[in-house]
Structure formats: C-alpha cells, structure tokens
Amino acid sequence: MLAMASADYQYHNTMFLVAHFHYVLIPGTVFGVLAGYHYWWPKMFGFRLNEKLGKTAFWFIAISFNVTFFPLFILGLDGYARRMYTYSESTGYGPLNMLSFVGALGLAVGFALIVYNIYYSWKHMPRNEKADVWDGRTLEWATHSPVPEYNFAVVPTVTRLDEFWFAKKEGRDITAGKIEKIHMPNNTGTPFWMSGFFFLAAFFAVFNLWVPAIISMLGVFGFMIHRSFEKDHGRYISVEEVMATEKSLRGDK
C-alpha cells in the first residue's frame, strides 16, 4: 500500500495508518499468540482453560477489534490526522470516534476475560488432564502434561512425518522401550544476566546514552566469556527417579 505514491499521499500521517498497523499487528500476531496460549496451556500446566470463558473472550476481541479499528480507515481517508487529541465538531469525526471508543471498551472486556479465565480455571478446572488433550499430531503430546524436566523417559522412535499420529491409529507406543538414566544440564543463571545486560544496552542506546550502553555490552561479553570457561558436565537422573516420576504422572498406585 505504501508503495503507491498517490495512495500514500492521501493517507500519510492519518488515522488510516493507525488502522492499517493494528489490522496487521493484532490478527497477524496477537490472535496467533492467543491461539497458541490456549492450545498449549494444558501441556504447560496440566489443566485446560475454561472453554466457555475462552469463547466469550474470543468473540469480544474479534468483534470489538473490528469495531475499534475499521472506523479509523474511514476517518483517515477523510483527512483525520493521527496524534490529535482534539478536533472541531464541524469536522464530523465525532460519531466514528465514539464508535471506535466503544470497540476499545469491548477489547478491554475481552482481554480482561482472558486474565480472569486463568484465575477461574486454576480454581475450578480438573487437574491431571491426559497427555494428549487435543488428539494432536506432534510429539509434545506423546509425553505427560505438564511435561517432566527430562521430557521423555524413552526417546521416541520417529521414522516419518506425524509419527505420533500414525502410531495412535496403529495402536503403537512410540515411547516404549527400556528406561535408562538421563543426562541433564545443570541449572545456571548466566543466560538471565546476559539477557538483562542486553536489555540495558538496547535501552540506553535508544536514548543515545552511549557510556552506559557500552558498559552494558561489556557485561554481555563478560558473561559470554564466563560461560565459555564454565565447566558444566551436567547431571544424571537415575532410572529409579525416572520410573517413580512416570508412575506418579500416570497416576499409578
């Protein structure tokens, strides 16, 4: 759209740009994030979010999103400049601005319902969901929900795409086999501190504060060097511990 000079001249620096930006950002990114958040929630925490509240939140967000931002296309084409906090009543921008405001309230309700759904589901939804709650195709659904720290007691045998799906149809267990001790890396706080210094470096650079930005980058490189010389041979989870964890997650007595 911006490559068309005549069109760009018409809606440059207007609310049309605001509408276009949000129509790219929210359906293209936020909706996908919300979908993944609901889909993998039971895999992370062992219980599903309430479906009724989830659907209610979806309709609030989907409808209110269009009510909020579609009028801005019309306002922008009519010449309404962005970043204006006031305008004359004679412009006629009032009704569509009010409609957009009502849509924004609906968006707020939708996102508030998502947050409330976490609380409600935590209190009321059943725990210990089966591992494969969605009858999925991919390997993460072949292990427990929530996932133990070692992921799989036995590494799955995969010979083709969607192996888990075909194994279910054929009545096979792709994680069957002898349990052995599992090697795990040790915990370390180095990545946390490294990312913290990265954040500070970027933050200071945005405001042209070069001295603290350089100091922060030195912190990043310092932790990189520290991590390179850190001797970490990891640890092993014993067979007995793995078997006890598997038994507990299956609900065996």
Residue 7 has pLDDT above 80, yes or no: no
Tell which phi-psi region holds residue 147, choosing left (phi > 0), alpha (psi between -120 and 50) or beta.
beta
CA distance 82 to 18: 7
Reported as a single tens digit per residue, the pLDDT across 123-159 is: 999 887 788 899 999 999 999 988 999 999 999 989 8
Q: Is 127 helix (H, G, I), strand (E, B) or coil?
A: coil
Amino acid at 45: F
User: For residue 156, what are the CA distances in angstroms to 1, 72, 140, 153?
Assistant: 48, 51, 10, 9
The predicted structure's pLDDT at residue 253: 58
The predicted structure's pLDDT at residue 252: 67
**Percent of the chain topping pLDDT 90:** 69
Per DSSP, which regions of the chain are E strands?
182-184, 235-237
Report residue 246 CA to chain centroid gap: 28
Residue 6 has pLDDT above 90, yes or no: no
Average pLDDT, the chain: 91
80 with 14: CB under 8 angstroms? Answer: yes
Q: Is 192 helix (H, G, I), strand (E, B) or coil?
A: helix
Closest to 47 in 3D by CA, of 140, 138, 117: 117
Q: pLDDT confidence of 248, banded at 50, 70, 90?
A: confident
Q: Is 176 helix (H, G, I), strand (E, B) or coil?
A: coil
Residue ranges per structural domain of the chain: 5-124, 139-186+234-250, 190-229
Reported as a single tens digit per residue, the pLDDT across 213-243 is: 999 999 999 999 998 888 888 899 999 999 9
User: For residue 67, what are the CA distances in angstroms to 15, 74, 104, 139, 197?
Assistant: 14, 12, 8, 39, 41
Q: Is 52 helix (H, G, I), strand (E, B) or coil?
A: helix
CA distance 49 to 144: 17
Helices (H) and strands (E) in the chain, counts: 9, 2
Residue 92 has pLDDT above 90, yes or no: no
